[in-house]
Amino acid sequence: MTKPESLVCINGNFVPPEEAFVSVFDRGFLYGDSVYDVTLTYEGIPFLLDSHLDRLESSAQKIAMEIKWKREELTKLIYKGVNKLEGDRHYIRIIITRGGGEIGLDPNLSDGQNLFLIFKELEPYPIEWYQKGVSLVTTEIMKTPKKAMDPSVKSGNYLNNVLALQKAKEKGAYDAVMLNHLGNVTESTSANIWLVEKGTFKTPPLSAGILGGLTRKSVLQIGREQGLEMREIDFNAETLRQADEVFITSSTREILPITKIDGKPIGKGIPGPYTKTLHNHYSNFVKQIIQEEKTKAIKSGLIK
């Protein structure tokens, strides 16, 4: 029997995507009252799964929602879903909503949480993205201030990011640069932003109002282990445009070079040597982690 390329798990039940439904009364649908996280697999092994589940739990705690599924349950469901799929490279989205109930903002109206796991084959990104780089534009749509919504929470509230990306697409760009209320760079709509200036790597600090990306964290660690100068520091859009090299980081895209911002080339307008070198180090890191995770999963009986 042929394995599917995509699958959905709803509260522990696996169904084809076309049979996956959520109630219109679910608070995730009505209010974005939900948390989520995303990872991917290499060789059929979920990458940094414990770290992603740590962040999921942290997000839930920060919106006063205690996840009712135990870590072991979530891990088993995720591996079960991956093992049902065709191929060995998949996208995994983990969503937990506060549940359904009577319509109203009061969280106490919830009748219980809902868990959704979305699995789908992750097609390779175009090689041209990495060979030639992609473009960004700055937009007037700001990153949500921390006092309005803690940026460390990965929640279903994403409308400002959606609108910023829409503006970027209207201008023919790959993604948007989102600034904070001080005019400093925060993130793109779905990735952390970095620049290279005279051999020094710089990325906005958490205090700028960004999500502490796991790839960002890994890149900081890898760079420092390799003796590279890695700094978490505020900078504005003009500094970003004047950088020698720029790239973004995320779990699924790893390290993606940016060669144009607001229509102007970055450096020589091609992916720079520091970005390429760092990506090579990151690729080696991924291989090491996957081997460790595979050994752990075999011992735990999660895979054969």
Phi-psi sector, 150: left (phi>0), alpha (psi -120 to 50), beta: beta
pLDDT tens digits along 23-43: 999 999 999 999 999 999 999
DSSP string, 117-161: EEEEE-PPPPHHHHHH-EEEEE-S-PPPPTTTS-TT--BS--HHH
| Cα gap 302→299, rounded to integer Å | 8
CATH classification number, 127-288, choose in 2.102.10.10, 3.20.10.10, 3.30.450.20, 2.40.30.30: 3.20.10.10
| pLDDT tens for each residue of 108-131 | 999 999 999 999 999 999 999 999
Distances (CA, A) of 9 to 28, 98, 276: 16, 17, 37
Q: Other CB atoms closer than 10 Å to residue 2's CB: what's the count?
A: 5
Average pLDDT over residues 234-250: 98
Residues that are catalytic:
154
The pLDDT value given to residue 146: 87
- For residue 147, the model assigns a pLDDT of 87
Domain boundaries, the chain: 6-121, 127-288
Residue 57 CA, distance from chain mean position: 15
Q: Model confidence over 54-98: pLDDT tens digits?
A: 999 999 999 999 999 999 999 999 999 999 999 999 999 999 999
- In this prediction, residue 304 carries a pLDDT of 76
Residue positions counted in the chain: 304
For residue 138, what are the contacts with CB-CB under 8 A and spacing of at least 6?
Answer: 176, 177, 179, 237, 261, 262
Give the H or E element holding residue 283: helix 273-299
Architecture of domain 6-121: 2-Layer Sandwich (3.30)
For residue range 244-280, what is the model confidence (pLDDT) as tens digits?
999 999 999 999 999 999 999 999 999 999 999 999 9
Strand partners, 137: 176
